[in-house]
């Protein structure tokens, strides 16, 4: 995010925090921040810096503690996905932000890629009619495990979190009803936890999803196929975040043929579009409606939490109808957690 922020006219850097001296130096030079505004301790930075907001881009297991510290210091927060490792953690942070009248938002930039903006517009146009089936296949080889080696559920926390947000983006009025996930590790995997996922989901309205994701495939895999009353749409590429996509359309019973989708979606880089939307929210413009608010992201956290339960139990898990996830799907819920 550093390069995008440095180019944004609304962004004024107040300080940097990192445990890596090399990272501090690199980011400090990019943002023209001197050594006195570079910190290795978050609490020290929160005390010393005059900041309006804190952007947290650290390993997932650190998000809850760091976001809570920033909120308690009176700062708005933009945290990398996921908010926390479990739903109750995320719900507690959302509640804390609300009590303190602060913004808590989640950096879900994938929905701003031109590919997904084009898909959303195509679905919204009614060209597919009622969508009943979706195949979502997205995996890649990532042999350098890095910080993910500490995760019990690396594929769910780091990859499926993006995927589930995209499902909410493409079908915003169709909450997830249940999910069944099989997590596994191929023999060649270097991950400690389930790095590959195969599963089934059902969204409201009769939308059935065949799902595949993970970090230990032998080659990159990306295909999204939608089956609707009026035909089928197939999208292919190397990965969901890469701009090289092909699109094909088939009428019922017909053959696939190329179709142009992206010309209908204005150009724009995903990170910049998301960060600009966040800036507008901070300034009070349409802030309650941004799709990546912490409150909206609770739907993603609920689906992730249910997916973890399914992997651990080997059973399908209810999502929208579950009392455990009531804050994500019921407006004005009286469900509360301790901040």
Q: Is residue 90 part of a domain?
A: yes
pLDDT score at 288: 59
Q: Is residue 191 part of a domain?
A: yes
Q: If DSSP states are collapsed to H, E and C, what string results for the chain?
A: CHHHHHHCCCCCCCCEECCCHHHHHHHHHHCCCCHHHEECCHHHHHHHCCCCEEEECCCHHHHHHHHHHHHHCCCEEEEECCCCCCHHHHHHHHHHHHHCCCCEEEECCHHHCHHHHHHHHHHHCCCCCCEEEEEEEEEEECCCCHHHHHCCCHHHHHHHHHHHHHHHHHCCCCCEEEEEEEEECCCCCCCCCCCEEEEEEEECCCEEEEEEEECEEEEEEEEEEEEECCEEEEEEECCCCCCCEEEEEECCCCCCEECCCHHHCCCCCHHHHHHHHHHHHHCCCCHHHCCCEHHHHHHHHHHHHHHHHHHHHCCCEECCCCHHHHHHHCCCCCCCCCC
Compute the average pLDDT of residues 203-207.
97
37 and 142 fall within a common domain = no
210 and 164 fall within a common domain = yes
pLDDT digits (tens, 9 = 90+) for 118-150: 999 999 999 999 999 999 999 999 988 888 888
Q: Any idea what the CATH number is for the domain that residue 285 is in?
A: 3.40.50.720
pLDDT digits (tens, 9 = 90+) for 22-34: 999 999 999 999 9
Q: Is residue 308 part of a domain?
A: no
pLDDT digits (tens, 9 = 90+) for 27-61: 999 999 999 999 999 999 999 999 999 999 999 99
128 and 196 fall within a common domain = yes
Question: For residues 3 and 166, what is the distance between their CA atoms, to the nearest angstrom?
Answer: 24
Question: For residues 2 and 27, what is the distance between their CA atoms, to the nearest angstrom?
Answer: 7
134 and 97 fall within a common domain = no
160 and 34 fall within a common domain = no
Neighbour tally for 175: CB within 10 Å: 20
Q: Is residue 316 part of a domain?
A: no
Neighbour tally for 328: CB within 10 Å: 27
Asked whether residue 189 carries a pLDDT value surpassing 50, the answer given is yes
Asked whether residue 167 carries a pLDDT value surpassing 50, the answer given is yes
Q: Any idea what the CATH number is for the domain that residue 136 is in?
A: 3.30.360.10
pLDDT digits (tens, 9 = 90+) for 219-250: 999 999 999 999 999 999 998 888 889 999 99
102 and 147 fall within a common domain = no
pLDDT score at 257: 98
The whole domain housing 82 covers 2-109+272-292
pLDDT digits (tens, 9 = 90+) for 268-309: 999 999 999 999 999 886 655 799 999 999 999 999 999 999
pLDDT score at 275: 96
Query: How many distinct structural domains can be found in the chain?
Result: 2
Q: Is residue 128 part of a domain?
A: yes
Q: Is residue 321 part of a domain?
A: no
* Mean confidence (pLDDT) of the chain: 93
Q: Is residue 334 part of a domain?
A: no
133 and 259 fall within a common domain = yes
Compute the average pLDDT of residues 75-98.
96
pLDDT score at 281: 93
pLDDT score at 339: 32
Question: For residues 109 and 219, what is the distance between their CA atoms, to the nearest angstrom?
Answer: 24
Compute the average pLDDT of residues 178-207.
96
158 and 227 fall within a common domain = yes
pLDDT score at 289: 75
88 and 103 fall within a common domain = yes
155 and 213 fall within a common domain = yes
Asked whether residue 331 carries a pLDDT value surpassing 90, the answer given is no
């Amino acid at each position: 995010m550093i390069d995008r922020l440095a180019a944004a006219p609304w962004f004024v850097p107040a300080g940097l925090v990192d445990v890596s001296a090399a990272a501090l130096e690199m980011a400090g030079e990019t943002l023209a921040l001197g050594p006195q505004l570079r910190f290795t301790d978050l609490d020290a930075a929160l005390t010393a810096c005059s900041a309006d907001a804190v952007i947290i881009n650290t390993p997932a297991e650190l998000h809850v503690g760091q976001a809570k510290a920033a909120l308690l210091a009176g700062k708005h927060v933009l945290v990398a996905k996921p908010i926390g490792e479990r739903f109750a953690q995320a719900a507690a942070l959302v509640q804390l932000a609300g009590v303190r009248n602060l913004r808590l938002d989640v950096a879900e930039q994938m929905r701003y890629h031109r590919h997904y903006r084009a898909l959303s517009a195509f679905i919204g146009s009614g060209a597919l009619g009622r969508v009943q089936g979706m195949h979502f296949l997205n995996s890649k080889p990532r042999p350098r495990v890095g910080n993910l080696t500490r995760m019990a559920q690396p594929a769910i926390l780091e990859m499926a979190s993006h995927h589930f947000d995209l499902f909410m983006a493409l079908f915003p009025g169709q909450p997830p009803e249940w999910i069944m996930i099989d997590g596994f590790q191929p023999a060649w995997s270097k991950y400690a936890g389930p790095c590959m996922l195969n599963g089934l989901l059902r969204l409201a309205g009769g939308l059935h999803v065949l799902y595949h994701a993970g970090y230990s495939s032998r080659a990159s895999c990306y295909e999204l196929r939608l089956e609707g009353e009026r035909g089928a749409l197939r999208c292919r590429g190397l990965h969901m975040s890469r701009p090289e996509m092909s699109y094909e359309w088939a009428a019922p019973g017909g053959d696939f043929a190329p179709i142009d989708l992206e010309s209908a979606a204005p150009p724009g880089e995903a990170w910049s579009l998301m960060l600009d939307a966040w800036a507008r929210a901070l300034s009070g413009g349409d802030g309650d409606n941004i799709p990546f608010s912490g409150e909206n992201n609770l739907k993603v956290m609920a689906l992730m939490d249910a997916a973890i339960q399914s992997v651990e139990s080997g059973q399908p898990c209810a999502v929208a109808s579950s009392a455990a996830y009531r804050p994500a799907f019921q407006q004005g819920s009286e469900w509360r957690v301790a901040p």
